[in-house]
Amino acid sequence: MAHWTVKVASAFHAVGRGFGRGKVKSTPFGETNGSAPFNASGVVQVGPGRFIFVDNHDPSALFELALDANGAEVERISRRPLAGLSEGQLGDPEGLARIDCDGAICIVVASSLCVVDAKGSGRQRFSDGLVRVRYTPHGDLKAEAMVGFRDWLLFHVPFLQPARRLEPDDGGLNIEGLGWDPSTPALLFGLRGPADRGSITVIRIPIDAGVAAWNTGSLGMPSIVRVRTPGSTGKQGVRDISYDEQTGDFLIMLGRSTSDGKEPFQLGMWKGDDDLQLLDIDFHRSMKPEGVVAFSSGGGRKLLIVDDGGGYAMVDYPSIDQ
């Protein structure tokens, strides 16, 4: 009982920090993924108080989190194994996007597509994977892999070619944001790297992701959107993109583009054009937010933010930073 009392109090304080006063700090998850903290990245809502997130160190499953109205865990995190994937079809999963299709929920999982452990090995390995998952409340989750997505993207987006064999900290390809635009329809891929000073890059790829055959032949021609980041002179990258169905806008989480960067984590609202409006929210230096989703709870709008250090925060929806 004492354990859950502490967790409820911690979650309550995390909620209370979401007003643009003070800094948002994570509440640790009540469990770990085996012996290691959850390296939580993208997150989506799948029901009232229920959310799915991805651990980019574990491509074999998604993870279901249940919270009460105060942001406290109400049951253990559920490991939801991905059924139907072969080894290597999903590596370094970073982004999640929810798609509503004919009354069912689909979740698209995207790899960072980055180079892995290239230095000193004499052989480069590449993360790959764009996976469609059919969500069900119980049991394993049926998953379909889109074979050859990394090669397809590099062929159709030539400006990424110089980054294709570089590691992320050397300016290599690193996609961490994945969003869904139901109005187009299209998947949106946000680059953490390569990055430019004062702007971020979003790649829009048309596809009817809920019903189309899950292969590269169903993908439309990509288009590139360069989005200005207000007041930024550093190289920030996209950590997450999330569609807000109530406003029709997107939430974009920003952070440093390389592991040794000094740029802050920030959250912005994006209308799909070339401008980003920052929201009035500050993150504690201990927090590494990599996933965000907006949802309704108790008559108000909230954000759930997951942290790749093994925690989360639930905050009130912030205002635009003036």
CATH number where 144 lies: 2.120.10
**134 within some domain:** yes
- pLDDT of 122: 66
The tally of CA atoms less than 13 A away on the side-chain side of residue 102 is 6
Residue 15: which pLDDT band, with cuts at 50, 70 and 90?
Answer: very low
- What are the tokens at 69? 């109205």
Asked if the structure places residue 157 within a domain, the reply is yes
**Position 322 in a domain:** no
What six digits make up the tokens of 273?
A: 């054009």
Instruction: Report how many domains make up the chain.
Output: 1
pLDDT at position 95 is 97
E strand or H helix at 4: helix 2-16
Is 290 inside a domain boundary? yes
Tell me how far apart the alpha carbons of residues 3 and 283 are, in angstroms, rounded to a whole number.
Answer: 25
The token duo for 224 is 């590139």
pLDDT in tens, 106-115: 999 999 999 9
pLDDT at 43: 98
Q: pLDDT of 31-49, one tens digit each?
A: 999 999 999 999 999 999 9
Q: Say if residue 10's pLDDT is above 70.
A: no
All residues at 6 or more sequence positions from 116 whose CB lies less than 8 Å from its CB, including other chains? 91, 92, 125, 126, 127
Report, in angstroms and rounded to the nearest whole number, the Rg of the chain calculated over CA atoms: 18
Query: What pLDDT, on a 0 to 100 scale, did the predictor assign at position 119?
Result: 60
Q: Which domain holds residue 161?
A: 2-316
Q: Are 252 and 241 in contact (CB under 8 A)?
A: yes
- Per residue in 44-54, is it b (16+ CB within 10 Å) or e — as a string? bbbeebbbbbb
204 in Cβ contact with 184 (< 8 Å): yes
Beta strands 141-145 and 78-83, pairing class: parallel
**Beta-carbon count within 10 A of 151 CB:** 14
Q: Tell me what the mean pLDDT of segment 246-253 comes to.
A: 96
Q: Collapsing DSSP states into helix, strand and coil, what is residue 73?
A: strand
Calpha distance 76→190 (Å, rounded): 31
pLDDT at 9: 42
- Count each helix (H run) and each strand (E run) in the chain, helices first: 2, 22
Residue-wise pLDDT for 69-112, tens only, equals: 999 999 999 999 999 999 999 999 999 999 998 889 999 999 99
Q: What is the pTM of this model?
A: 0.92
Q: Considering the domain boundaries, does residue 141 fall inside one? A: yes
Q: How far apart are CA 172 and CA 197, in angstroms?
A: 15
Q: Using pLDDT thresholds of 50, 70 and 90, give the confidence band for residue 6.
A: very low
> Which of 299 and 154 is assigned the larger pLDDT?
154
